[in-house]
Amino acid sequence: MGDACIPTIDLSSFLLREDEEGKRKGMEEITEACSEYGFFQVVNHGVSLDLIKVAMELSKSFFDYSDEEKTKSSSPSADVPLPAGYNKQPLHSPDKNEYLLVFPPGSTFNIFPQNPPQFREVLEEVFVQMSKIGMLLESIINDCLGLPANFLKEFNDDRSWDFMVALRYFPASNKENNGITEHEDGNSLTLVIQDGVGGLQVRKNGEWISVVPAEGTIVVNVGDVLQVLSNKKFKSATHRVVRSEERNRYSYVFFHNLEGDKWVEPLPQFTKDIGEPPKYRGFLYKDYQELRMRNKTHPPSRPEDVIHISHYAIDS
């Protein structure tokens, strides 16, 4: 693993209407990051740093409770694709983590812990602020791609499909492979707040690059939906988490998603309008998500049989 690092981009210009030069520079940096890495970090993003600290402390307190206490916040049904509340990875899973999953505030699917006090209030506020960042970044990426104003916002206008998880990765033992399964995200955009333990890595040109934690940063990565819409102009990067052998790793992950019945295919701006062949055939988003979920519920015996976005790729 080399000394390369993913770009860090200051979003303050996009929160100040008068800073046009700063916006221009930021758009150039985001365009390059999405094209080269599929990953970048943002600072001065508008999410309260005090809120982030409190949210991380409350998450640690919650995961330190007994399993009996945590499972009081579990979904009564294990059959739904994304059970709200507390969940723990099966012992046979290579991921070795536990998590608390929440949907938008007001959603009837949410199951919030009663303890620690204020945790629900903080989770809802983190969700709201991360959602704002997701929409801001979607708007910036829209302009970076040269799409008509508000195109992605109007295409992806249903925020009820977004969700967030508070995660704890357990330490790795010396006897096991401590690498969390490498993958790409199947959504539009993912935002990550990570603690100081680190372990998140992104692959570029066959090399694993560590996403070094820094206070006040939020990690952003492009998902498969944007890769397909842009006809691979923007990259959905392969990434993983390598667990520490000594310490738990805590993070919050926000998924800026797409409504399940949306049809996804390369946009004409990146295909017929410029004389380029489409690199993917179209698909219903929910169909792709069902295939990805089956990877987890019924893991293929051969790694090469795991479904990725390449399942829809058109041979050139």
pLDDT per residue as tens digits for the range 126-151: 999 999 999 999 999 999 999 999 99
- Asked whether residue 302 is domain-assigned, the answer is no
> Band of the pLDDT at 2, cuts 50, 70, 90?
very low
- Asked whether residue 275 is domain-assigned, the answer is no
99-to-87, 130, 145, 246 alpha-carbon distances in Å: 5, 18, 34, 19
Q: Return the SS3 of 79.
A: coil
- Asked whether residue 154 is domain-assigned, the answer is yes
> Band of the pLDDT at 295, cuts 50, 70, 90?
confident
Range of the domain at 122: 8-269
> What are the pLDDT digits (tens) for 157-185?
999 999 999 999 998 876 555 555 789 99
The pLDDT assigned to 172 comes to 84
Find the CATH number of the domain harbouring 265. Answer: 2.60.120.330
3-state secondary structure 169-199: ECCCCCCCCCECCCECCCCCEEEEEECCCCC
Other residues' Cβ atoms within 10 Å of the Cβ of residue 10:
14
The domain total for the chain is 1
- Asked whether residue 28 is domain-assigned, the answer is yes
- Asked whether residue 34 is domain-assigned, the answer is yes
Name beta bridge partners: 74.
85
- Asked whether residue 308 is domain-assigned, the answer is no
- Asked whether residue 231 is domain-assigned, the answer is yes
- Asked whether residue 295 is domain-assigned, the answer is no
The pLDDT assigned to 47 comes to 94
